[in-house]
Amino acid sequence: MSKRLKQVIAMLEGLPPEKAELILAMLRKKDPELAEQLAEHTLSFDDLRYADDKGMRSVLEKIDRRDLYLALRGADKAVLERILENLSTQAGAELQDALTNMPLQRRRDVDRARTAMVSTAMQLRDEGKLMIVRPGKSDEYV
């Protein structure tokens, strides 16, 4: 991987999730090949739906509960379901209760919590403790 590509990846990972997604969407129109390379090496909040079970549990162990609740505020249903699959029945019920009874939250607080969760996931990925396997990728794990 080139130094320039690493710099762009670092830049994208430092942005709020919605801005990074917007940049990738615009780049897909101009240079689909580069956009695909970047997408393969970056991690978004929505990518957590593709995390392996053990890795997801590691993320959940490290993330603060308040940040987890905030991060899941208005999250895609697939991400929420993936997280619930990796929580105990009691913790899952507490999470659903918290989300149901949580008052409106500021977008910047939700984004901060999602960024914290993605940062934790990237750290675990870099340590080899989390795998993200997006559908349709040719890599096969055995």
How many domains, in total, are found in the chain? Answer: 2
60-73 residue pLDDT tens: 999 999 999 999 99
Position 126 in a domain? yes
pTM for the structure as a whole: 0.78
Task: Give the residue numbers spanning the domain of 98.
Answer: 47-133
Residues 73 and 105 in one domain: yes
Whole-number Å distance between alpha carbons of 62 and 64: 7
34-48 residue pLDDT tens: 888 887 778 888 899
For residue 83, the number of C-alpha atoms closer than 13 Å in the C-beta half-sphere is 28
Position 89 in a domain? yes
Q: Can you give the CATH number for the domain in which 11 is found?
A: 1.20.5
Burial 84-121 (b: 16+ CB within 10 A, else e): eebbeeeeeeebeebbeeeeeeeeeebbebbbbbbebb
Residues 63 and 123 in one domain: yes
Contacts of 131 (CB under 8 A, 6+ apart): 51, 52, 55, 125, 141
Is a pLDDT exceeding 90 seen at residue 17? no
